[in-house]
A and B are shown apart, each in its own frame.
Chain A
Amino acid sequence: MLACEVPADTPARIPRVDPLRSLARRAERLTPWFYEERFGSPKFLRQPYLRVLRLLSSAPRLPADPVPLHGHEEEGALETLETEALVVGGGPAGLAAAAVLADRGLEVLLVERERSLGVSAGWLPSASREHDLPLEVTVLLGATCVGLYEEEALAGVVGPGGPRTVRFDRLVVATGAYDRPLMYAGNDLPGTIGLRAFERYAAAGSFSSDIRVGVVAAPGEASRAVAAARAAGISLAFVAGPGEVPVEDGPAFPRRRLERVEGRGRVRSVRLEGGSPIACDVLVMGFTQPSFELQVQAGATASVSGEPAVIVASGQARFPTLAVGEAAGHLGPGTQARAAVEAWLRGDAPIPVPPPELPEASIHHPRAFACLCEDVRVSDLRAAIEEGFGNAELVKRRTGAGTGPCQGKLCLGEVAAILRAAGLPADLPTIRPPARPVSIAALGGATDA
């Protein structure tokens, strides 16, 4: 959800079916390098082919109206804020961290993308809605930390008042986690939703009672899904997972692999290994990829571990850096953040939380989509590796995996796992800024967004 920048507080709309959609669906079956052998002859058709290819884009249309320029300032010096501690993320973990830092007399700047603090606590039934942020903490709301820039030794922040740079001595990353997709057949069907998006939509009352919601999740995530459903009055069609799952009033299938999801155009049923199809309209997938971009840009080492494989940032950064909450691999809503920051201020090295080593959660299918942004299948990645594109940088460029709007947040763990399965080093491409998509209007200081 964080990866894709879809505002969840507006009612979800399913876009009108594009007449080109069926063509586009066929195009999804092609390999990313399909054009190499095709589009070649006859010669006179090469340019028309490309023009048609371009028009077939299923991307959104660019609005025709220009962005209003009021408030746009001529380029001057970029405003620079200075602070002792920069906290990125104003969810439960970030708030707890900011409070501890301020209590210890540090000057704290907290940057939060939402328009208010603790928004995520509103979706998590177990989280405290109270936060007692000391008044001395400076808060920037509606602001995105775009990235950490080594040469300039600062963070770039875009928000109300235009782009700013922030210099800091200490950094706390409290940017949450993403929902990691699994590689089963049908993993791109509409109706599939990540746990964190589900919590948000459930809290907003988006699920009517006739929608059948199923859950496939790791143990901790399954408990969260069940809690979110209960709080929203949703009765779950089933809860399944590779480990234990909470046994509620509905059917529970612990220690079962997901075989495939079926349906034409959207999720209709879910098949667990060795079972018959279970009817369901929405499938909640609960596996966690902690956010890692800022830690890696700060100089931490990115590696791949766990099952399902996820990217883990660890080791020394160029300056004191601490990840808290979900960004540190904790599933609880920020309860550990306070203790973690206290230990960090005492000079103790952060204790890494290893990602879970679960039994395999789904049957891998070669036609599953590894990169959902760019329609790259598991089979495409394997084919590229077989062709000799034997590291993450080459695979990324050859297939386009990780070059879409999410910039690999959802797929790089899987790409690395596939490299590892092929006996190659499970490395990652460079994690470049911006850490989140940010509009040209906001970067240019034209709007308040």
Chain B
Amino acid sequence: MPERADVAIVGGGITGLALAWELARRGKRDVTVVERRYTGAGGSGRNVGRIRAMQLTRELAVFALAAQRKHERLRDELGMHTLFWRAGYAWVLYEPGEVERMAEAIPMLHELGIPAHLHGPAAAVRRLPVLRGGETPAGAIIGRDAIVHHDAAVYAYRKACATAGVRVLEGRDVIGILKSGDEAAGVALGDGTEIIAPVVVNATDGWAREVSAMAGVSAPNTPVRREVFVTEPSKPFMGPAISFYRPSEGWFNQTLRGELVAGVVHPDEPVAMEERSTFGFLRRTAGVLLQKAPRLGHLHVIRQWAGVYDMTPDRKPLVGPVSAVPGFVQANGYSGRGFALAPLVAELLAEWLVDGERPELLWPFDPDRFDGVPAPSVDSHDYYAGYRSESRE
């Protein structure tokens, strides 16, 4: 006897849970979320919860700012605190050309009401004292962005889903998308269960291409690994979260609990669904941190892990019903911003699925925009590559 649902969501990360809850509070209560491992096992549990509105392009910045406000509202909407913390955010720039290039974005950010200020080398180190004794930056752009506790946010949604009557199946894998003619008709699980549903949502990010293929949809998503390490906690030693892009891309910040989390990207990270961690990463990240913030050398690394960025060629997610397979809905391809954007994406997509009208903010994320584009490739290792063309417009 097959089960039935109005909406079947594949993936129990923040996108899947948030969408289920947003649908339920709009009256669509017959929703089933299917998660292969446990809620938050993928990208939702493998990120560091940075909620950044400062983005390089207007399109992304507009959305990211609205998404940040959504995160800020979660305490009131879900009734649970997600530890949304305005730690601040700094782009630390080590090449003069970078300063020029990044400074171009500042007027755009200000116009949108996103505070961001460019500081020269001395002021940058004064405002980011953790950099003392390290390589002198060429400048820094510092804003007021936030960090949330990713587990707190995922579990707030998880509890809200349970209260709203959403079915969340953990430890169950989707092995096929059921179709009736061209249309999506539900999902088939590995244990033989079928869930009949007129709407199937692909909220799997790193596995999105695979799940799209089950529905006969060819998606441009390519997963690229990102690794993280975390140290033992210390008393507060740094404020704003730091990112840098040249000569190598990386980032570090202190969590609310006092740990340092850090990662430096491998220039030739293989494009694959890869969640194993490497020793080379530890050594690479430690080496770069010692150059930039040598005081951090005292800290002890206690754990490392890896997750993926689900990259799209233009670094923008795919959100909405796919025209080739009616009933099949994408909510993936976040390109490393999933945790920040997911709550707003879920809210808007739920509106769309309930009202039938696409919210304006979701237009740039049209899931069909790569149709007919021959095998778009993702240049995974140059941070600026994905933004270059658009920002020059």
Contacts and interface: CB of A to CB of B under 8 A. Distances in A.
Interface of A: 5, 33, 35-40, 43, 46-47, 50, 53-55, 57, 59-69, 72, 75, 78, 146-147, 149-152, 154, 156, 163, 165, 387-389, 391, 393-394, 397-398, 403-405, 407, 432-434, 437-447
Given A57-B258, A67-B294, A438 B301 contact: yes
A432 B86 contact: no
Contacts of A66: 132-134, 294-295, 297
Contact of B290 (A53, A67, A407): A67
A437 to B, nearest CB: 4
B373 interface: no
Main secondary structure of the interface of A (DSSP, over half): loop
Nearest to B156: A36
Contacts of A393: 37-38, 41
B81 A35 contact: yes
A146 B282 contact: yes
Given A50-B256, A67-B297, A156-B279, A61 B80 contact: no
24 contacts: A35-B81, A36-B152, A57-B234, A57-B235, A57-B236, A57-B258, A61-B237, A62-B299, A67-B294, A72-B290, A147-B279, A149-B277, A151-B276, A152-B278, A163-B286, A387-B159, A391-B38, A397-B40, A397-B151, A397-B155, A405-B300, A434-B304, A439-B301, A444-B289
B370 interface: no
B108 to A, nearest CB: 26
A53 B255 CA distance: 12
Contact of A432 (B134, B152, B277, B300): B277
Contacts of A432: 277, 303-305
B235 A149 contact: no
A387 B234 CA distance: 31
Contacts of A65: 133, 295
A441 B81 contact: no
Contacts of A149: 276-279
A440 B40 contact: no
Contact of B298 (A35, A37, A67, A445): A67
A78 B284 CA distance: 10
B236 A437 contact: no
Given A35-B81, A54-B258, A151-B276, A407 B289 contact: no
A440 B297 contact: yes
A146 B300 CA distance: 12
A53 B290 CA distance: 28
B75 A403 contact: no
Contacts of A37: 80-81
Contact of B81 (A40, A61, A437): A40
A150 B159 CA distance: 35
Contacts of B304: 432-434
A65 B132 CA distance: 9
A445 B39 CA distance: 38
A57 B83 CA distance: 16
Contact of A60 (B76, B234, B289): B234
B223 to A, nearest CB: 15
